[in-house]
Amino acid sequence: MNKIFCFGERIDGYDVPVLNEREVRAAAGILFFFALVSFMNSWLVGNFRFTRIFVIAFLIDFTIRVFVNPKYSPSMILGRIAVRKQLPEYAGAPQKRFAWTIGLALAVTMLYLIVINNLVGPVNLIVCATCLTLLFFESAFGICLACKIYNLFFPDQAKACPGGVCEVGEGRDGQKIGFAHWAIVAAFLGLIVFIGQRYFQPSEPATLSNPAATGVTSDGKCIPPDWAVAIGHAEMWKLHNNCK
C-alpha cells in the first residue's frame, strides 16, 4: 500500500524519487489559466474577489503538494486526468519540492497581503507576476525556473531533469539555433510592428453612454478609484475608460 505522506515515486532505473513531468506541466497549465483570469480581473476591472479565492485555492493545493503528497493535490489530480493516456515522463522529485516550496512561500505572502490585510500595491503585482512567470514557463516550455535556483544551492544534485537538461550537451543538430533562425524571428517581429504602425493606428475614444458609472465627469475628465491609485494603475485606468 502506498504511503500517504511521501514525495515522489520510486521507479526502477532512477536514483531519486520521481514525478510524472507530464502531470506536473498539465497542473501548472491549469493553475496558470486561473491565475491569469484572477490577475486580469484585478488589473483591468479592479475586482479582487477572484484573486483572493485563487490565492486560498493555490495555498491549499501547494500545502498538499509539499507536506502531504503531490498525488493528492487537486491540480495534480486534474493534470493526471488530462494526460492519463500519455506515456509518463519522469523528472526528479527533490528539485520539484524545492520549487514548490517557493510557490508555497509566494502563496503565503499573497494570503497575508491581499486576503488577510486587504492590501493593494506594487508588492502584490511583483508576487503575482512571479507566480505567472513560473507557471507559464513550466506549462509552456517544461522549464522549471525555481529548479535552477535549486541547482545554485545544490550543484550537480538535480537528477532526471525534464528534457535531460541536467546533462551537459549541445543538443542534436535539429535543435541547434543559428543566425538564420534569429534573423527569421527578428524579421517576423519587425513585420508585425510595421503592420501595426502602418495599418492599425489608435482609434478615437468611444462615447461613454453612462459617464457617472465609470467615474468620468461631464467635461471628460476622470477620477481614478483608490485601488487604481494604490497600485500605480491610475493612468492605465483612465486609458481603459477612454478618459481625456
Mark 24-46 as b/e (b = at least 16 C-beta within 10 Å).
Answer: bbbbbbbbbebbbebbebbbeeb
145 and 236, same structural domain?
A: no
131 and 229, same structural domain?
A: no
pLDDT digits (tens, 9 = 90+) for 123-149: 888 999 999 999 999 999 988 888 888
Residue 225, φ and ψ in degrees, nearest 5? -70, 165
Determine the pLDDT at residue 120: 80
Mark 163-175 as b/e (b = at least 16 C-beta within 10 Å).
Answer: eebbeeeeeeeee
C-beta atoms surrounding 23 within 10 Å? 25
How many domains is the chain built from? 2
190 within a domain of the structure (yes/no): no
24 and 143, same structural domain?
A: yes
51 within a domain of the structure (yes/no): yes
Query: 12 and 18 in contact (C-beta within 8 Å)?
Result: no
**What is the distance between the alpha carbons of residues 54 and 232, in angstroms, rounded to a whole number?**
23
Query: 224 and 238 in contact (C-beta within 8 Å)?
Result: yes
Estimate to the nearest angstrom the gap between the alpha carbon of 200 and the chain centroid: 30
C-beta atoms surrounding 141 within 10 Å? 12
80 and 25, same structural domain?
A: yes
Determine the pLDDT at residue 224: 81
Regions of the chain with pLDDT less than 70: 1-2, 156-157, 163-174, 201-221, 242, 244
* pTM, entire model: 0.76
Cell numbers standing for residue 125: 503585482
40 within a domain of the structure (yes/no): yes
13 within a domain of the structure (yes/no): no
Domain range for 73 is 18-167
Instruction: Using the 3D structure, point to which of 136, 167, 198 is the last residue of a domain.
Output: 167
